[in-house]
Amino acid sequence: MNIKKPLLVIVLLLVVLVLVPWLIHVSGRWDFYYTLTSVALLSIASAGVWLTFYIGRINIGQGAYTLIGGYASAILVTKLGMNFWLTLPLAGLICALISIVIGLPILRLRGVYFAMVTLVLTEVARLTALALPITNGAKGIVNIPMPTELSFFGITIIPDFGTLENPKLAFYIASVIMMVLCYAALYRIVNSRLGHLCRSLQQNEELSASIGVNTAYLRVLAYSISSFMGGIAGASFVSISQSVYPSSFQVVDSVNFMLNCFLGGLGFVLGPMLGTLVLYFGWDLLFTLGKYQLLIYSSMLILLMVWLPNGLLSLKLFNRGAKKK
């Protein structure tokens, strides 16, 4: 048994759950909690996009499912009075069901055709949110309460965030735990029989179908899991901002989810996580350059993709351990 991976996970958990909060407390920069929470949730949505890349499809519509998940959770909390923690999986399931309905016809399309169809999904979701009365149109849904207590048989599992002295820390811990669970599930999928079958679709769908692989089923399954991740990320964002609008997630967000995967590395499960971290902070660091920010930002992305087509994780610094195995 290889004990390096469990040890690495334990070290990472200690860093993000102990060292990072301690450093923030010492520095007094409480705003970093919101920043790192955003990075964790964005990486969850990006992980879903990575899974569709894993079956050989380019997904530029994840923003639609984050928006749908956000509205689903907001409506269930404000209109039906449900506990946020119960709406979280429900928002993901709603997104997964919608993706199955949409995916059944469009997943038959190849390459760029599928990508172009998914590109319009986010705008369709935004326009739908503007038109439906239940979403309150352009006004959105505001004053969404913070996550309340979740308990079983009188035992408090998760406290009421509204009663906490520092809810930002609670949101940070919750989002990091969600991110760890998401990537653990993604790693398990990739290294299972299901993952090996999905990889065969990426290489040659005709050959996979010829040996009895149900390619249509695998495509829809991967796409629904991807959308589920987008839904729970969107629902979590809504609980943090306590509001959701049709413009909360736009086409640019869908493009960024895809770029996170490219930047981190399409061949690595943790690629979307690293890509999200670098892309998020890289954009903020370039803010001081004013009108040259976008030019330098796009140029650096192009150069990285040219010189590192397999992403940052393909660098020897990260890949040294993998080559020794």
pLDDT in tens, 256-291: 999 999 999 888 999 999 999 988 888 777 777 777
Residue 168: closest CA among 37, 322, 304: 37
Query: With bands split at pLDDT 50, 70 and 90, how would you rate the model's confidence at 101?
Result: very high
Residue 74: closest CA among 144, 123, 133, 138: 144
pLDDT of the residue at 1: 42
Q: What share of the chain in percent tops pLDDT 70?
A: 94
Q: Does the pLDDT value for residue 162 go beyond 50?
A: yes
The pTM (predicted TM-score) of the whole model is: 0.90
pLDDT of the residue at 111: 67
Q: Does the pLDDT value for residue 118 go beyond 70?
A: yes
pLDDT of the residue at 323: 42
Q: Greater confidence, 62 or 166?
A: 62
pLDDT of the residue at 319: 57
Which tokens in the block code for residue 222? 């991967």
pLDDT of the residue at 17: 80
- Where do runs of H (alpha helix) occur along the chain? 4-14, 20-27, 31-54, 62-78, 84-106, 111-119, 121-131, 167-190, 193-203, 205-210, 215-241, 251-264, 271-285, 293-307, 316-324
Q: Does the pLDDT value for residue 152 go beyond 90?
A: no
Q: Greater confidence, 2 or 94?
A: 94
